[in-house]
Amino acid sequence: QVQLVESGGGLVQPGGSLRLSCVASGTIFSLYAMGWYRQVPGNQRELVATISTGGSTKYADSVKGRFTISRDFAKNTVYLQMNSLKPEDTAVYYCNARWGTINFWGQGTQVTASS
């Protein structure tokens, strides 16, 4: 069983920065593509960024140029650096691990960009 534990969420003023972390355990981390998704109550969960086992990245148009996803194989950790945060980035952010059709999710961490 894969366990994903997120951290790093919180309250930040618009224009500020946060870095989310997700530590994976119970699996071979290098086998999984990793990603960050977010969800606002009443809306569907949406993709924010993904990173493949080879390091290829993909971003939602709304976060391109502001967010950066990265992974550290030695620490079994994936990061999401979020800069220039906007109120519309406010959501619960979820870490995802994917291997083929198999998906695992973290418990989520709240990010709020508000003055």
- Residue 58, token pair as written in the block: 């993909």
31-81 per-position pLDDT tens digit: 899 999 999 999 999 999 999 999 999 999 999 999 999 999 999 999 999
Q: Return the percentage of the chain with pLDDT > 70, whole number.
A: 100
- Residue 9, token pair as written in the block: 């969420």
